[in-house]
Amino acid sequence: MYHYGEGRPVDLRQALDLYRKVQSSGTRDVSQEIREIEDLL
């Protein structure tokens, strides 16, 4: 699992990478994680 909320640039990069993977795969489970990431951003 990814650890978010620390405010590190690496976490932002991981979030963007995860977002790109979701667009290519289109899974619903990861879409919920994106919403959590957007709230932190």
pLDDT tens digits along 2-35 = 555 555 667 788 888 888 887 777 666 777 777 8
> Do 34 and 19 contact (CB within 8 A), yes or no?
yes
- Which pLDDT band, with edges at 50, 70 and 90, does 38 fall under? confident
- Looking from the CA of 21 toward its CB, the CA atoms found within 13 Å total 10
pLDDT of res. 3: 57
For 1-41, strand residue ranges (E) read none
Instruction: Give domain limits for the chain.
Output: 9-40
Answer yes or no: pTM beyond 0.75.
Answer: no
A 10 A CB-CB count for 34 gives 14
